[in-house]
Chain A
């Protein structure tokens, strides 16, 4: 009897978990829809969006540029050790660039963005909620989604591809430093293989599409986490952690799906 009730409890717990997940998905979709409806109001006041692009973008620059450089340096080294076996060191530029533009640029910069800007967004919105600032906006007949969340959302969507582009650009420079300056690969081969092998539409643009999708998902999750958190110190803390964990996992999951769709693996 107790075994049966224990089993039922476990099934009920799984059901409750699924329901909670569906509830969050529905909440995310509803917030996304409200943000889209708030787009005209946000775009009528571009300064609000520009301020947020500056806040989210500029403040993420250091971590994005430094990480991009190191990822490029490591890619250069690892690529060289592999390509040397086949006598194809000249293709190092192509390898580094394709890896960055197609995958590592959008994905790693989105993960860093979730950790740096996403957590800042969640904490900011959560603290505004805890301090009754969002209620004060409602009481002043100002829609907090339109006035506070929408500018941050569109700023995140714009900032993400720009940061991913910078990450890839700096990464390529890192790869060039290792390949040309340290190892001694012919610079002309490095650049010519890269320019001939990278297709703008298939490689670069797909990378940009990825980073836009990641920008939408990471920013939406961060804003949703802050907007729905419990208005207590512990609630804001949990929401901030959830924002970075869920945001990062979503980026990785979406990356797999997008890669399969874009590059014809499935």
Chain B
């Protein structure tokens, strides 16, 4: 698919970046998670952040949402630094974004309908009739209008993720963050969800950042892909580019990751003492 043709609106809107990472570092106590992350995401772009499990992909989304703060460098969202915003400014920023959690994080005591209606009820004064129409449209977009009245415990994990996607986009956000949107989906739902992410982004003129390790689907919908590689001093981006550029990359980590190869800079086995020491 030609990515340049579907970015007409994005090119117009891309006067300033939606996100700007400027040498961002982050860690928990003495344990570094990231080192020197630098990246710019333009308005209208779909950026995929890829990397192995546990490398810190989800933490990047939490940094963007202001749920945690960088310990080094600067992170600008909508042109303003996240770490210098007070609570009111942070909430105001979050009202402009939607975050899809890895396991949906649906409210278990609310029905699917009420989950999607929740941000509308909290942040708008829309009438119940209008909220109903919007919620049903959002659920229709993810193919789940038929489960509107069910509780989250009555639907599958994949369906819960799609309901959460409807909730994340309920307010037509300018920036949508997806945490592993393809994990646990069947092939049909996976393809539909991938196309939906692209379609939503283009229809709303928003910007999307998804963290995933699903190479095939991601390469079909992403404008650019950033590959995050682990390191003892903190993970960092080893390659950022279009899917075509990454396929042609000569970086050993990128090549190992895309090929799913056991041999390469990343070992399948965690660091451990020699096997015979444990079994002698």
Contacts and interface: CB of A to CB of B under 8 A. Distances in A.
Interface in B79-128: 91-95, 97, 99, 101, 103, 105-108, 118-119, 122-123
A234 to B, nearest CB: 19
A139 B108 CA distance: 17
A140 B103 contact: no
B122 A142 contact: yes
Given A132-B101, A135-B101, A136-B101, A141 B107 contact: no
Given A135-B67, A135-B101, A140 B118 contact: yes
B79 to A, nearest CB: 18
A184 interface: no
A27 interface: no
A136 B91 contact: no
A138 interface: yes
B65 interface: yes
A2 B94 CA distance: 56
Nearest to A138: B67
A133 B122 contact: no
A140 B107 contact: no
Given A131-B108, A133-B108, A141 B92 contact: yes
A136 B105 contact: yes
A133 B107 contact: yes
B105 A133 contact: yes
A147 B92 CA distance: 16
Nearest to A127: B108
A88 to B, nearest CB: 54
A132 B168 CA distance: 14
A131 B103 contact: yes
B103 A132 contact: yes
B123 A141 contact: yes
A143 interface: yes
A231 B97 CA distance: 25
User: Which residue, of B93, B95, B119, has the highest number of chain A Cβ atoms within 10 A?
Assistant: B119
A48 B94 CA distance: 23
B105 A138 contact: no
Nearest to B91: A141
Contact of B95 (A128, A141, A143, A147): A141
B32 to A, nearest CB: 23
A108 to B, nearest CB: 30
B122 A139 contact: no
Contacts of A132: 101, 103, 105
A75 B93 CA distance: 60
Given A131-B103, A135-B67, A140 B94 contact: yes
A100 to B, nearest CB: 36
Contacts of B93: 141
Nearest to B164: A136
Contacts of A133: 105-108
Contacts of B101: 132, 135-136, 139
Contacts of A135: 67, 101, 105
Nearest to A124: B109
B108 A140 contact: no
Nearest to B118: A140
A141 B175 CA distance: 14
Contacts of A131: 103, 105, 108
Given A132-B101, A132-B103, A138 B94 contact: yes
Contacts of B103: 131-132
Nearest to B102: A132
A140 B122 contact: yes
Nearest to B61: A139
A140 B105 CA distance: 12
A107 B275 CA distance: 60
Contacts of A127: 108
A199 to B, nearest CB: 45
27 contacts: A128-B107, A131-B108, A132-B101, A132-B103, A132-B105, A133-B105, A133-B106, A133-B107, A135-B101, A135-B105, A136-B99, A136-B101, A136-B107, A138-B67, A138-B94, A139-B67, A139-B99, A139-B101, A140-B99, A140-B118, A140-B122, A140-B123, A141-B91, A141-B93, A142-B119, A142-B122, A147-B122
Given A138-B67, A143-B91, 11 more contacts: A128-B107, A131-B103, A131-B105, A131-B108, A135-B105, A139-B67, A139-B97, A140-B99, A140-B123, A141-B123, A142-B119
Interface of B: 65, 67, 91-95, 97, 99, 101, 103, 105-108, 118-119, 122-123
